[in-house]
Amino acid sequence: MPKVFLSPSTQEWNEYATSGNEELYMNLLADRMEPYLRSSGIQYVRNDPDRNVNGAIADSNAGNYDVHLALHSNAAPENLAGKLRGVDIYFAPKSQYSEQLANIIANNMKTIYPLPDKVRAVPTTYLGEVLRTKAVAVLCELGYHDNYADEAWLKNNLEIIAKNIVRSLCDYFGIPFVSAGAVRWGTVVTDGSGLNIRSYPSLAGRIIGSAPDGASILVNGETGGWYVVSYNGIVGYSDANFIDL
């Protein structure tokens, strides 16, 4: 199953137009993404807020991640302070997968941002979190925090934005998006055989693990008669008919 390095901004000095700062609100956004990531079967690790961007890049590169996702909000140059609006999703111009992910995020973001024509995927030649990471990487600039309208949009729609970004990740990985719900424990109930854990909620999905009859198994979500489960570090899908909650 996919694994994401989630890297919300550590730039507490970037103050918002009325109150708060970039680090605070990007971490609040990441907080709201976590339940949707779990329910959709996407494993994740968050950056260390006490480390800078170079630390985030090093920590990401030290692991094995499918995507490095950086969360930021933007600020206009001093001569245009407060006058710009828009969402920019930055990608590595030499990576087709980075560009593909950026376009998916941008296209989905257009459905919730009030000015969809100002949402775009943009190549970057200077952003380290996009260019120096081992994993496929994008950096999201989610509005201009020095603009009152963008600040209000961001603050008032954290849950919607979080859900939208996780849906984009699911689109990129080719797995179903599963709405967040209560995390529950279940018991495997079979005829004594092991319960398969698959990479996709279908009998055609690759078997990536197994849980024995009678085992306790964590259920993070449900889609089409399949549970999104976690067992002994393996995250995947199991037939709901063989798990008693």
Q: If we measure between CA atoms, which residue out of 199, 68, 194, 200 comes closest to residue 140?
A: 68
User: Domain 3-173: what homologous superfamily?
Assistant: Zn-dependent exopeptidases (3.40.630.40)
Distances (CA, A) of 215 to 19, 203, 206, 242: 49, 21, 21, 11
In this predicted model, what pLDDT tens digit does every residue of 31-61 receive, in sequence order? 999 999 999 999 999 999 999 999 999 999 9
In this predicted model, what pLDDT tens digit does every residue of 216-225 receive, in sequence order? 999 999 999 9
For residue 227, pLDDT beyond 90:
yes
Q: For the chain, what are the domain ranges?
A: 3-173, 184-244
CB 236 within 8 A of CB 41: yes
Q: In the structure, what pLDDT confidence band is assigned to residue 180 with cuts at 50, 70 and 90?
A: confident
Q: Which residue has the higher pLDDT, 152 or 182?
A: 152
CATH of domain 184-244: 2.30.30.40
What H or E segment, with its residue span, contains residue 79? none
No. of helices (H) and no. of strands (E), the chain: 6, 13
Per-residue pLDDT, averaged over 79-94, amounts to: 96
* pLDDT averaged over every residue in the chain: 97
Any residues with CB less than 8 A from the CB of 10 and at least 6 apart, and which? 23, 47, 49, 50, 51, 52, 53, 56
- Confidence at residue 19, expressed as pLDDT on a 0 to 100 scale: 97
- Confidence at residue 46, expressed as pLDDT on a 0 to 100 scale: 98
For residue 139, pLDDT beyond 90:
yes
In this predicted model, what pLDDT tens digit does every residue of 60-73 receive, in sequence order? 999 999 999 999 99
- Confidence at residue 182, expressed as pLDDT on a 0 to 100 scale: 85
Q: In the structure, what pLDDT confidence band is assigned to residue 181 with cuts at 50, 70 and 90?
A: confident
